[in-house]
Amino acid sequence: MTLPTRPYKGTRDFYPEAMAFRRWMFGTLEKTVCRFGFEEYDGPILESFDLYAAKTGEEIVKNQLYWMEDRGGRKLAIRPEMTPTMARMVAAKIQELPRPIRWYSIPNLWRYERPQRGRLREHWQLNADILDGDVQFADLEILQLAFSVMEAFGGGEFIEIRINHRAMVDEYFEKVIGVTTEVAHGLIKLIDLKDKMEAESFNEKLSALGLTESQAQSVIQFFELEYNEISEKISGSGKLEMDRLFENLKGSQLEHAVVYDPSILRGMDYYTGLVFEIYDKSPENRRALFGGGRYDNLLGLFGKTQLSGIGFGMGDVGLENFLLTHDLIPLVRNRKDVYVSMTDERYEKLCIQVTEDLRAKGLSVVTPLSVGKLKIQLKQANQHDAHFLVILGEEEFENNCASVKNLDTGDQFQCSIGEIFNRINTDLN
């Protein structure tokens, strides 16, 4: 009997079967980012409120941030994202770190928002960031990493990567539509929320920004434009970076996965260049799974050194929904190596001796912690999903040996007490 597990549904209490799934999921994420040379970091759960007030999007600070005052009157916030913490930490040791810096973390984060499919108030999130390096190569590498993460779960064929460039959009809004830099930034925030509001409300907010009817119509039409239609009207750094990126994508595994989408803008204030979101192509789960972008001015807020950066954050809830949608979750098991029975008080010391020996040699071993019938303990061994059951009964005690049952195959053999580990370990490996 085996007990395959799936992620526990309907609660954020992580029962053992859910933890087995999470270990598999997080382990897959870590193996993938480490193949790209990333190093793990972590930071405090509580940060100064000012860290987010100055460096995070207005929506998060005003509506989604959990915060408190401590006994010293300091205003603290529970981290809603990791990028400001990462930037603060890098700035503090900028001269000591080997470049380019490749850092990753899988922290739990909190945001006060309406729980819904793919989004909860508490979640865990893979954060991967590259600091320094040539923009064209760093941008390409972060996209390659994002794609490789999805491929590691068997989902590469089910996604598309939608990209845009904030500097390119700024230039288009200012030079072609004719709005100021300040209004252009307001437009970007508004467009990022476009899918969450009715068309009438969106048009009203366009007017509130001071756009003429002609300008508002140009903004609406902007969403329908192809990349060439936008890029031919501008000539700044954003266009040049995007042109090089598309050139570098030719012939790569990402060539057909990456598409240009003018509506991808990302609402965070610190994004300055490439922005992207990974979308599930399935009609059952057609939504953004995660995203990120380039932030070239963020580190300068914490010190004198400016350092370009690009990264993304991938939440566990959206990833889990994606894996369930495409049936990509394997049978994840909470297996134990050995269950040592305890059927009579006379054999207690022998049971303890065998258990200690097997654990000392690196096996995971469970015992019933009480004397009982073998039939009941066999059932418990199966419930614990043990590979082997070690039986220490009267016959075994008299002959200083053990009976060992393979619970997967049903085969059973006898061996000396000293040979239990070698016989079991051979089958386990």
pLDDT in tens, 77-132: 999 989 889 988 998 898 899 999 999 999 999 988 776 776 788 899 999 999 99
Sign of CA dihedral 350, 354, 360, 364: negative
Contact 406, 412 (CB under 8 A): yes
Tokens representing 123 are 């979640």
Give the closest residue to 90 by CA, choosing from 310, 314, 291, 305.
Answer: 305
Residues 415-423 have a mean pLDDT of 94
Task: Please give the pLDDT value at position 322.
Answer: 94
Task: Please give the pLDDT value at position 314.
Answer: 96
Give the model confidence (pLDDT) of 288-326 as tens digits: 999 999 988 777 777 777 888 999 999 999 999 999 999
Task: Give the whole-angstrom CA distance, residue 12 versus residue 18.
Answer: 9
Give the closest residue to 299 by CA, choosing from 145, 109, 95.
Answer: 95
Q: Which helix (H) or strand (E) holds 164?
A: strand 159-165
Contact 129, 104 (CB under 8 A): yes
Task: Give the whole-angstrom CA distance, residue 61 versus residue 107.
Answer: 19
Q: Is the pLDDT of residue 48 over 60?
A: yes
Is residue 262 reached through a cis peptide bond, with omega within 30 degrees of 0 on the bond before it?
no
Task: Please give the pLDDT value at position 4.
Answer: 45
Task: Give the whole-angstrom CA distance, residue 335 versus residue 350.
Answer: 24
Q: Is the pLDDT of residue 57 over 80?
A: no
Tokens representing 398 are 């008299």
Task: Please give the pLDDT value at position 13.
Answer: 73
Give the closest residue to 42 by CA, choosing from 90, 91, 107, 95.
Answer: 107
Phi, psi of 77 (to 5 degrees): -130, 145
Task: Please give the pLDDT value at position 383.
Answer: 93
- What kind of architecture, by CATH, is found in domain 21-45+81-325? 2-Layer Sandwich (3.30)
Task: Please give the pLDDT value at position 51.
Answer: 83
Q: Is the pLDDT of residue 402 over 80?
A: yes
Q: Is the pLDDT of residue 12 over 70?
A: no
Residues 389-413 have a mean pLDDT of 93
Q: Is the pLDDT of residue 386 over 90?
A: yes
Task: Please give the pLDDT value at position 180.
Answer: 84
Task: Please give the pLDDT value at position 223.
Answer: 87
Give the pLDDT band of residue 207 (cuts 50, 70, 90): confident
Q: Please, how many CA atoms are within 13 Å of residue 426, restricted to the half-sphere of its CB?
A: 4
Phi, psi of 233 (to 5 degrees): -100, 0
Give the model confidence (pLDDT) of 160-179 as tens digits: 999 999 999 989 999 999 98
Q: Please, how many CA atoms are within 13 Å of residue 424, restricted to the half-sphere of its CB?
A: 34
Give the model confidence (pLDDT) of 327-379 as tens digits: 998 887 788 999 999 999 999 999 999 999 999 999 999 999 999 999 999 99
Task: Please give the pLDDT value at position 107.
Answer: 95
CATH H-level, domain 336-428: superfamily: Anticodon-binding domain (3.40.50.800)
The answer to whether the predicted template modeling score (pTM) of the entire model surpasses 0.75 is yes
- Provide the residue ranges of all domains of the chain, joining segments of one domain with +: 21-45+81-325, 336-428
Please tell me the least confidently modeled range out of 126-135, 174-183, 416-425. Answer: 174-183
Give the closest residue to 174 by CA, choosing from 270, 238, 260.
Answer: 238
- Write down how long the chain is: 429
Longest dimension (CA), the chain: 96
Task: Give the whole-angstrom CA distance, residue 235 versus residue 246.
Answer: 16
Contact 261, 275 (CB under 8 A): no
Give the pLDDT band of residue 56 (cuts 50, 70, 90): low
Of residues 239 and 67, more confidence is placed in: 239
Listing DSSP states for 273-342 in one string gives: SEEEEEEE--TTS-SEEEEEEE-SSSGGGTSS----EEEEEEEHHHHHHHHHHTT----B---EEEEE--
Phi-psi domain of 85 (left: phi exceeds 0; alpha: psi -120 through 50; beta: other): alpha
Task: Please give the pLDDT value at position 197.
Answer: 81
Pair type for strands 401-406 and 412-416: antiparallel
Task: Please give the pLDDT value at position 281.
Answer: 93
Q: Is the pLDDT of residue 1 over 50?
A: no
Give the closest residue to 156 by CA, choosing from 141, 169, 145, 170.
Answer: 145
Task: Please give the pLDDT value at position 3.
Answer: 44
Give the model confidence (pLDDT) of 233-281 as tens digits: 999 999 999 999 999 999 999 999 999 999 898 866 778 899 999 999 9
Q: Is the pLDDT of residue 2 over 50?
A: no
Task: Please give the pLDDT value at position 307.
Answer: 85
**Mean model confidence pLDDT for the chain:** 89
Q: What is the DSSP letter of 210?
A: T
Of residues 114 and 216, more confidence is placed in: 216
Q: Is the pLDDT of residue 194 over 80?
A: no
In this structure, how many other beta carbons lie within 10 angstroms of the beta carbon of residue 394?
11
Beta bridge partners of 164: 275
